[in-house]
Structure 1
């Protein structure tokens, strides 16, 4: 069990409550994406204890971030939306060079890989056209229909969580359940959290198997797709400029610096293992 993964899980959990930012992207940023997929699949194998011990600090970090930061993030997005998104924009842009190095793009990428990169980058960027402020009200009553929608929303959001560049929170916005789930987290509504959580668990179990197979057997192709999706996500989360330019530039630089630091930490960690 590596308790250093707590902070990685914390960063992933923070991204989960921000529409437009993907936990999968942050997992790539902090260098645990492949291992997370492998461990989720390994939970159902004979070596489940080893995989569970790897996932435990990440899960604790994610839950801590979601629990502690839901109110804070709601306030930041309400009061300082542009600087907040610029920080994550810097984080994502800053990690792209490390992704190209990790993929060995100079030697491994061919024309078809760059074509895949562009196609998936455009596909993710096109989600910008569907990005609108959610006008959905917080549900006052929860019936069978709402419970089914919450379960399906959790399923779809979890599938998006492990796809770099695709935001689970953004899908919750599209489903119209984001305000209700955020309040449930803040109020610790066990019924809503249990239903959404069940959908998340099943979605993770199924999608992780597919992605792990693809990464194991088509590594270079998947790196091209991941880099394209991460690149495209910068278009989705770009908030525009509405006057807080100086503060936004500062948070952008902080995001770039954080990405550089994380990349150096992961590179140093891998060098020591070698």
Structure 2
């Protein structure tokens, strides 16, 4: 039975939120995917697609590549993935044109809003596996958070826009796209390629965009398979690491920073900044409450059924965590 068109529109809206986040330095599209409940669906779909491409290429000389690739692609939930990707693509182009300049003109207000959003989002990976955290889990989370805190404190640099460099930057940025907490745009900013990439999108520089897209494809093929395997086999520990990444990356969104990303004490329009921070947190809390109630109406959990987190595993892995 086909799903109603409203379902596809909602998935496109989810994709638009993810695409918009990727245009803002410091905000991770993966974080927004977690909030909207489609993160593992995206990773699962990307994993099947990259496997299909690999099978098609490796088995092509023996004439079996097309059949194996089609079989792998049938495992993708296209009713979710296609609207998501369409929404992401449209929103990314529009956000690069409209939202990115607003962030540059009003960084304190914009970062306050996103700081509240990401801070409230920590609840998602923290509670995602349904397992109780141990002392070791908390220690690992702190170590990862310190690493992310250090990474997001690196001052912006400059790199040439040579196609090889652009492709390498794309492969790194796409890994950040699928990893909650680390922003692909922020990494591009650190490498000095954020503004050239935004300009290439706005000016339709297809040479630059082709090199960047090639890097994204390679990076996605390598990283998504690893992440999918980790979610299937070490789901709880993977979410512990994600929680640390998101917590440490909050440094990138601290509203008071100098040009070299040094942290400053609150000053100037502190009241408005705090209000925007509270608004960002409230938006996430509202989304989580609505989703929780919607899931509760679908089915009442059986008393004998084991408790699970809000995000199901991408595959029926061995569950060795």
Q: Say whether the fold is shared (TM-score over 0.5).
A: yes
- What CA distance in whole angstroms lies between the structure 2 residues aligned with 1:102 and 1:266? 14
- What CA distance in whole angstroms lies between the structure 2 residues aligned with 1:36 and 1:231? 22
- What CA distance in whole angstroms lies between the structure 2 residues aligned with 1:244 and 1:149? 40
- What CA distance in whole angstroms lies between the structure 1 residues aligned with 2:92 and 2:83? 14
* Equivalent in 39, 48, 60 of residue 73 of structure 2: 48
- What CA distance in whole angstroms lies between the structure 2 residues aligned with 1:75 and 1:184? 15
Cα distance per residue 1:59-98 (max 9 Å; x no partner): 1111111111212223212221111111111111112234
* Equivalent in 138, 155, 164 of residue 114 of structure 1: 138
**Structure 1 unaligned regions, length at least 5:** none
Q: Give the corresponding residue for 1:15.
A: 21
**Structure 2 unaligned regions, length at least 5:** 53-68, 257-265, 300-321
Q: Give the corresponding residue for 1:229.
A: 245
Q: Give the corresponding residue for 2:270.
A: 245
- What CA distance in whole angstroms lies between the structure 2 residues aligned with 1:204 and 1:264? 32
Structure 1 residues 216 and 272: CA distance shift in structure 2, 3 A: farther
Q: Give the corresponding residue for 2:289.
A: 264
Q: Give the corresponding residue for 1:162.
A: 178
Matches within 5 A, 1:1-274: 2-3=7-8, 4-43=10-49, 44=52, 46-49=71-74, 50-104=76-130, 107-132=131-156, 136=158, 146-240=162-256, 241-274=266-299
Q: Compare the two structures and name the one with the higher helix fraction.
A: 1
Greater radius of gyration (CA): 2
* Aligned partner of residue 31 in structure 1, secondary structure: coil
- What CA distance in whole angstroms lies between the structure 2 residues aligned with 1:246 and 1:70? 29
* Aligned partner of residue 164 in structure 1, secondary structure: coil
TM-score, scaled to structure 1: 0.88
CA shift at 1:194, angstroms? Answer: 1.9
Asked if the contact 1:41/1:209 (under 8 Å) is kept, the reply is yes
Asked if the contact 1:85/1:237 (under 8 Å) is kept, the reply is yes
- What CA distance in whole angstroms lies between the structure 1 residues aligned with 2:125 and 2:241? 11
Asked if the contact 2:181/2:242 (under 8 Å) is kept, the reply is yes
Asked if the contact 1:28/1:164 (under 8 Å) is kept, the reply is yes
- Which 10-residue stretch deviates more, 213-222 or 258-267? 258-267
- What CA distance in whole angstroms lies between the structure 1 residues aligned with 2:171 and 2:125? 28
Q: Determine which structure has greater relative contact order: mean sequence separation of CA pairs < 8 Å that are 6+ residues apart, divided by chain length.
A: 1
